[in-house]
Structure 1
Amino acid sequence: MASLLPRSLLSLLCCLFILAPRAHADSAAARLTQYLPSADFQADVMQILPPKVIRQLHDRIMASISQHQEWFQQYVAQAKQGQPLPYHPNFGITQEEYQSYLQGSRRFNLTRTAITQIKVTQDKAGNVMLSNLGLNPPYDHVIYHPATNTVSFAKVELDKFQLVNQQERNSITGRWHGAQWRFDTVSKDGKIQQYLKFAIGQLEDKDRSLIYIDGRTYDGELHNSSVVLMFDSPRAIPQ
């Protein structure tokens, strides 16, 4: 079914953008606690959003569609699969604005939407927990296990480890290097049922670090909890 800008698209792009660059597997599973802060710290909660003017157009379209729901259902049913909906005055914006909307919806910015105080705790075994990560439970904390170089996230062990070396200056995050841990399950028909990812690293052109968290489940519909956190580069946890 064709659509304007699915609400899930922003979340989907957030899932894909940050680790699209080359990721290099490390057979030695090097410990990367140098990227983890050793004390509580403040972080900017970032979301991938289209430009403000595009969000305003989107709100106007949605408000107008809500007044023409029966018409909209019929209009969508007649549309071509995989194609943007043709312009119609019932969208509540002009044809020129609609063209700007379609073009601008492809350009996204990393925008700060909140600030969070991340809590760092370490147990006697050296496991490090980061909590208050700006998402709802169970996505609000992760535990890093240095002994096995794995991450516990949403009650699942993320055991697929890769080093990341992102060198595209024009990417949303800019250049950065670090590590990622992930877990995924695939159904018999090849569809991903659950996809969990945690990444942490150092920006190369700024004295800042980032954390990227992605939790996705599919049950015929996408459910996504994703966030990017950026913060001043912390001192490493003593090894």
Structure 2
Amino acid sequence: MRIAPLFPALIVLAACSGEQPADNKSAAPASPAANAATPATSAGPAAAPDPLADYLPTPGRHAARAMALAPPAEAVALRDRMAAAILRNRTWYETYAAQHPQGELPWHANLGIGEADYRRYLALTRQIGLGERGRVTLTVTRRSDGGLALGADGAAAALDGLILYPDRGRVETPLGRLGTRAATGNDAPESPLGRWQGIRWSNEGTGAPRQLSLSAGRRADGERLLYYNYGPSDAETVILLYPAGPAR
């Protein structure tokens, strides 16, 4: 969900305004750099670099940190009230979110809390911290069909079995396909993850009973992240941070 009825969405959505377009457009590919030292002898144009390469994990084993959001108790209570209201009126919510594709959603009575409580809730989301749950190993394997198969243990075990197909614009999960791709990120340095940019796959618009999403990105300090939301509770979320260097 795009506003913050559920804290799994807060990192990319409620922490600042305008950070996650919901128009389902992929990130624009980077322009190929001209090589002034080499004559242009190719019969065709140079291939553009992969726009996702800076966000995706490389094949191998990565030492990673599994993280968890630490929201204020008052924000949790307000979130739970909104979550209940949205689940009762999900069709309305999806339409309303589509009408406001960028930034924080305006308050609406159907969100289940008053306008003052909503403003308070948005303010509280900016106080969310991030704590470490444990050290884990992220394993990435290049499949023969071009997919990147993820394996993980410990607090990140829910990532095990996900397969990223960057060239096909989708992710396969044990719970279903994520076929909607959009640019994502956050420009607010005070957000839990600070400034970061990336790509997000989801099953939004499919009518699936469970909303799923996976984000892959790069923080301002160069650290990489994976953010997997596979259910409505805080326990059904994986936030993984790992170094940008080559895998082991």
Place the TM-score, normalised by the shorter chain, in its bin: 0.5 to 0.7
Deviates more, 1:152-161 or 1:128-137: 128-137
Letter in 1 for 2:213: K
**Corresponding residue for residue 57 of structure 1:** none
SS across alignment from 1:118: strand
| Alpha-carbon distance between aligned partners in 2 of 1:45 and 1:18, rounded to the nearest angstrom | 15
Letter in 2 for 1:46: M
Q: TM-score scaled to structure 2, two decimals? A: 0.57
Alignment of 1:95-174 (within 5 A): 107-132=127-152, 134-136=155-157, 139-174=159-194
The 1:175/1:106 distance shift into structure 2, 3 A limit, reads closer
| Alpha-carbon distance between aligned partners in 2 of 1:49 and 1:113, rounded to the nearest angstrom | 11
| Alpha-carbon distance between aligned partners in 2 of 1:82 and 1:201, rounded to the nearest angstrom | 32
SS across alignment from 1:19: coil
**1:19 and 2:9 matched:** no
| Alpha-carbon distance between aligned partners in 1 of 2:190 and 2:125, rounded to the nearest angstrom | 18
> Aligned-pair distance for 1:19?
1.9
Matched-pair contact (CA < 8 Å) for 1:40–1:119: yes
Letter in 1 for 2:237: S
Letter in 2 for 1:152: E
| Alpha-carbon distance between aligned partners in 2 of 1:166 and 1:119, rounded to the nearest angstrom | 26
> Aligned-pair distance for 1:135?
4.1
The 1:167/1:151 distance shift into structure 2, 3 A limit, reads same
**Corresponding residue for residue 225 of structure 1:** 236
Give 2:218's match in structure 1, choosing from 187, 202, 206.
202
Q: Tell me the alpha carbon deviations over residues 49-89 of structure 1, each in whole angstroms, 9 at most, x when there is no partner.
A: 147xx7xxxxxxxxxxxxxxxxxxxxxxxxxx969xxxxxx
> Aligned-pair distance for 1:162?
0.6
Gaps of 5+ in 1: 1-9, 55-80, 84-102
Number of aligned residues = 169
The 1:106/1:23 distance shift into structure 2, 3 A limit, reads closer
Give 1:193's match in structure 2, choosing from 160, 185, 209.
209
Tell me the percent identity.
Answer: 21
> Aligned-pair distance for 1:214?
0.3
**1 or 2, which has the higher strand percentage?**
1
| Alpha-carbon distance between aligned partners in 2 of 1:104 and 1:147, rounded to the nearest angstrom | 38
Q: Tell me the alpha carbon deviations over residues 116-151 of structure 1, each in whole angstroms, 9 at most, x when there is no partner.
A: 1111111122111111163455x5331111341211
Matched-pair contact (CA < 8 Å) for 2:201–2:214: yes
Give 1:39's match in structure 2, choosing from 35, 49, 60.
60
| Alpha-carbon distance between aligned partners in 2 of 1:105 and 1:167, rounded to the nearest angstrom | 15
Gaps of 5+ in 2: 30-49, 74-111, 115-122
> Which has the greater radius of gyration?
1
The 1:109/1:165 distance shift into structure 2, 3 A limit, reads closer
SS across alignment from 1:131: strand
**Structure 1: which 4+ aligned runs deviate by more than 6 Å?**
103-106
Letter in 1 for 2:240: L
Q: TM-score scaled to structure 1, two decimals? A: 0.59
| Alpha-carbon distance between aligned partners in 2 of 1:148 and 1:126, rounded to the nearest angstrom | 10
